[in-house]
Amino acid sequence: MNRDFRSDNVAPPLPQILDTAIRSGGLWMDAYADDQATGRLEQRLAVIFEHDVAAFPILTGTAANALALAQISGRFGQILCHRSSHIHVDECGAVEFHSQGNRLKALEGKDGKLEADTCIRGFGPLDDVHQLRTTALSLSQATEVGTYYCADEVLRLAGWAKDNGAAVHMDGTRFANVVVASGSTPAELTWRAGVDVLCLGGTKGGAIGAEVVVFFDREMAVDFKRLMKRSGHLASRLWFLAVQLEAYFGDDLWQETARDANAMARLLGNTLSESGLVSPCYPVQTNMVFLKAGMSTYEHLRELGYKFYLIEDEIEGAVARFVTSYATKPEDVERLADAIIRCVVLSG
């Protein structure tokens, strides 16, 4: 019985990926991402996105985001992002560190999403030598509250950014969950809508540890491997990441597992809403459910052995986050929902 809903990171690796990694351990491969597995992965991603891509396996989402933004944001840059975005809240200043003086500008937005009007107000002057100029826009897909930007929303925001000379980055650590939830194609959610670089997640989907930075214009990726090398992220056996991603994206596995994770979150959200006692704070669109139920309820749940994160939101206050994964079972969700309802009643 699973009581750990802190993150999809705590779930075990997908057996298919684990088996692939073990089998690949006996192979001889070229080093520093010049291997055959990385080449095959790039070809596979080109098929998935219906577009030529330059793809770079990398170990962590933090490194992927920080280096991708350093690559596209230029000098004297200001990067617009949502105030709840991972790059702003949870990456220890990695973007600013790796971009050598560029700065994040965090903006408000309902349900974890930016809106064009807010971005316009946060853009700032282009010709004032005393201020940074906006050089990039970062979108989280899915957002930090589990919602997503539909293709038209990405198109509108990216179009505005391009019209104003800014590049567009997408933090896609849970991109698979968005693809299956939205019904849009990977292409429609990215380059066709104006996205320049996608940090595509594999770890939260079940990889042992593997992400990939995907550029949709090879010219924008010039010297990216040098940036990886300088920052200490051009590992010698990057093929170990590439084979995991090959297995994950090799067929429909990445979408099947995301579909399962999303279904479990919907089950939790629907069961709680139907109780009439507690409802999710945000629309349950991917694999995260947020509840505002009071500290007493949270404490009772933890006494029952349940693990989850409390998010201290500037507006909502202490909000409990429950994350489902491919390994989450319906019976686990049903027990959790029952425990939450009982704890709400107990807390009065």
SS3 letters for the chain?
A: CCCECCCHHHCCCCHHHHHHHHHHCCCCCCCCCCCHHHHHHHHHHHHHHCCCCEEEEECCHHHHHHHHHHHHCCCCEEEEEECCCHHHHCCCCHHHHHCCCCEEEEECCHHHCCCHHHHHHHCCCCCCCCCCEEEEEEEECCCCCCCCCCHHHHHHHHHHHHHCCCEEEEEECCHHHHHHHHCCCHHHHCHHHCCCEEEEECCCCCCCCCEEEEECCHHHHCCHHHHHHHCCCCCCCCHHHHHHHHHHHCCCHHHHHHHHHHHHHHHHHHHHHHHCCCCECCCCCCCEEEECCCHHHHHHHHHCCCECEEEEECCCEEEEEEECCCCCCHHHHHHHHHHHHHHHHHHC
Q: pLDDT tens digits for 302-332?
A: 999 999 999 887 666 789 999 999 999 999 9
CATH architecture classification, 14-249: 3-Layer(aba) Sandwich (3.40)
- The residues, any chain, with a CB within 8 Å of residue 302's CB and separated by 6 or more, are none
47: amino acid identity, one letter: V
Q: Which two tokens stand for residue 150?
A: 């539909």
CA dihedral in degrees (113, 116, 122, 128; nearest 10)? 150
What are the boundaries of each domain within the chain?
Answer: 14-249, 254-347
| Contact of 211 with 176, CB cutoff 8 Å | no
Distance set, CA 268 to CA 36, 130, 134 (Å): 42, 50, 40
Q: Which two tokens stand for residue 185?
A: 């194609």
Give the model's pLDDT for residue 311. 87
Q: How far apart are CA 153 and CA 92, in angstroms?
A: 28
Give the model's pLDDT for residue 129. 81
Task: Please report, in tens digits, the pLDDT of each residue of the chain (348 residues total).
Answer: 899 999 999 999 999 999 998 888 788 888 888 889 999 999 999 999 999 999 999 999 999 999 999 999 998 999 999 999 999 999 999 999 999 889 999 999 999 999 988 888 878 777 778 788 999 999 999 999 999 999 999 999 999 999 999 999 999 999 999 999 999 999 999 999 999 999 999 999 999 999 999 999 999 999 999 999 999 999 998 999 999 999 999 989 999 999 999 999 999 999 999 998 899 999 999 999 999 988 999 999 999 999 999 988 766 678 999 999 999 999 999 999 999 999 988 877
Q: Which two tokens stand for residue 27?
A: 């192979």
Q: Which two tokens stand for residue 345?
A: 């009643």
- CA angle (254, 259, 262) in 5-degree steps: 125
The candidate with the shortest Cα–Cα distance to 283, out of 183, 178, 200, 172, is 178
Q: How far apart are CA 193 and CA 153, in angstroms?
A: 9
Give the model's pLDDT for residue 314. 63
Q: How far apart are CA 20 and CA 325, in angstroms?
A: 20
Q: How far apart are CA 170 and CA 197, in angstroms?
A: 6
Give the model's pLDDT for residue 315. 61
| Contact of 57 with 233, CB cutoff 8 Å | no
Residue 318: CB atoms within 10 A of its CB come to 13
Is the fold of 14-249 the same as that of 254-347? no
Tell me the HSE value of 313 on the side-chain side, using a 13 A CA sphere.
23
Give the model's pLDDT for residue 203. 97
CATH fold of 254-347, please?
Aspartate Aminotransferase, domain 1 (3.90.1150)
